[in-house]
Structure 1
């Protein structure tokens, strides 16, 4: 008795199977090439990051005096290397931080809260009595800045990143520009920013984050502008148009890294670990606030400063300690 297989003419199925096998092998080969290419590109990008950034051993990050708490806290310091002839730099010596932010990544990865600390806050600085918050970096570099800020907010600092404002120019251009909202027209450094959504190139970004004198509330509006710029950059960085474009990603790293100093825990491997914590965070889950301040004051040498709002600071310290910053920001907003 003949089986169906026996009735099938010889050679009928083999070419079909052969073609299928070849097709599968071709697909697997393509996927393997893509995988190898991705690994190779990741390694290349890691090399560019490690060779481009300056890395520091910040001993204060391991300070036993800093309270432990859930989540990850990253101190972001913005510095400006413009000539001392620039009016915004008058009277400033050493490296002072013009922007001071603490970014908190929630322990469960549900969001990122960024708290700006006004640079003119009058605070205790170890070994230097009381002074403006931004003087800590001038007196003792990243270690003293970290120590001063974790004393202020009451929890440890896990990482520190110091960026020169000049890096914003190349980064913005590498991303094809960024869009920021302007709620009232102003002019700064010869450039006018009309009310509404403004598309900034690199030069425009620099003028935008530096502007202080056009505003009645001076540094507070500059802080809001810096927050808006940071949010716009993050939005552009995580967009599909950037993440799927190796050329754009490489240019962004190349343009930013020479102006970036990080602790040695933020090498390429550390950045991958950090970005893994952020993998599920949407841009809408980034929240920003500025620490409220008390009355202004004047130091013995005539310098004007801002006092700390102790009630607001106490609430902020509790929020950092118990990982409830998201609710606290919504309440203070």
Structure 2
């Protein structure tokens, strides 16, 4: 038997075998390196998202309170007076929500003015402080919505279904931009207004119609009161919520991006972006089918015949806010 070196063919075969093993090893190293890098990148991205968008929401024993103000829109004079004032409370423990409307004509002695002027005079801080004084509840966050954008949201959704409870006429609905029109000397200034009518029953409203429905202040009969107006505002908000939560909307990224864009243009908030993630989690956990809706109404408030301000105002029947605060505590239980 020969004891000399391996034949060339054998040496080539062994080298080829080793080369294949090295190639497989390199591929494994590359695979695991890439996998580890992807994991680290994902971890870092997740950490960034958590740090940037998942801070701790302000709350009191698990309850986070919001103040929503609706301003008239920039086509109107005194555009930063609030037509809509709504207190919203979300409880992460019970997963329940409560919505309370506050009449804009409520007189608050501490600011010597109607509550709807607080944003006009004091930006974000004064409305939060004033509503907290009235309700006895801390306000964690505030949202200011331009009604013009509110109408855009409704139009982008293709309208909302609203069940009008009572038919009503409003013969003096103000026309935007005509607040100072002298109407060619007409003493009744009729050119500043238009007549609107709503018939009882379920109907699909576009943005412009919906805004007239919730803004109307001069309707004949009970629908002309601030209390009825607050109820209509709540009704529209719930109808809008119902439409947004349909699969046709929340399962379509393009529609959601469109809505987000409109909201961005028409909303001003004091919610820090680090709270967005936790806020989204909280909103998703709330049982919106059992939301409590109510308003400060004639059981708690009264219109004094001769108020020293010489304005039409509402004040607490008891003379202070104690009964109002007890009422609010009751709906939050």
The TM-score, its normalising length taken from structure 1, stands at 0.68
Q: Corresponding residue for 1:152? A: 134
Larger Rg: 2
Listed as ranges, the matches of 1:1-333 within 5 Å are 68=60, 70-81=62-73, 83-84=75-76, 93=78, 95-125=80-110, 128=111, 130-187=112-169, 190-217=195-222, 218-265=225-272, 267=273, 269-292=274-297, 293-297=300-304, 298-310=306-318, 313-314=321-322, 316-318=324-326, 325-326=331-332
Gaps of 5+ in 2: 1-41, 171-193
Alignment partners' CA distance in 1, 2:99 and 2:317: 18
Distance 1:302 1:317, change over 3 A: closer
Deviation at 1:309, TM superposition (A): 3.6
Change (3 A) 1:317 1:204: same
CA distance in 2, matches of 1:284, 1:215: 33
Decide whether aligned partners of structure 1 residues 282 and 68 sit closer, same or farther in structure 2, where only a CA change above 3 A counts. Answer: closer
| Secondary structure, counterpart of 1:134 in structure 2 | helix
CA distance in 2, matches of 1:168, 1:191: 20
Question: Structure 1's 251 and 152: CA in aligned 2 closer, same or farther, altered over 3 A?
Answer: same
Aligned-partner Cα distance in 2 for 1:238–1:272 = 18
RMSD, aligned CA: 3.1
- Unaligned regions of 5+ residues in structure 1, if any? 1-35, 48-60, 328-333
**Alpha carbons of 1:184 and 1:251: their partners in 2 closer, same or farther (altered >3 Å)?**
same
Deviation at 1:187, TM superposition (A): 4.2
Alpha-carbon shift at residue 312 of structure 1 (Å): 10
What do residues 264-295 of structure 1 show as CA deviations (whole Å, max 9, x unaligned)? Answer: 42x3x423311211223333222211113432
Contact 2:72-2:79 within 8 A present in 1 as well: no
Query: 2:86 aligns to what SS in structure 1?
Result: strand
Contact 1:146 1:157 in 2 (8 A): yes
Distance in 2 separating the partners of 1:281 and 1:198: 28
- For the residues of structure 2 that align with 1:299 and 1:69, how far apart are their CA atoms? 39
Number of aligned pairs?
A: 254
Assess, with a 3 A threshold, how the Cα gap between structure 1 residues 312 and 185 changes in structure 2: closer, same or farther. farther
TM-score for both structures, normalised by structure 2: 0.68
Equivalent position SS for 2:285: coil
Q: Following the alignment from structure 1 to structure 2, what is the Cα–Cα distance between the partners of residues 199 and 278?
A: 26
Report SS of the residue matched to 1:213.
coil
**Aligned-pair distance for 1:123?**
1.2
For the residues of structure 1 that align with 2:231 and 2:128, how far apart are their CA atoms?
23
Once the two structures are TM-superposed, the CA of residue 114 in structure 1 deviates from its matched residue by 0.6
Q: 1:320/1:184 Cα in 2 relative to 1: closer, same or farther (>3 Å)?
A: closer
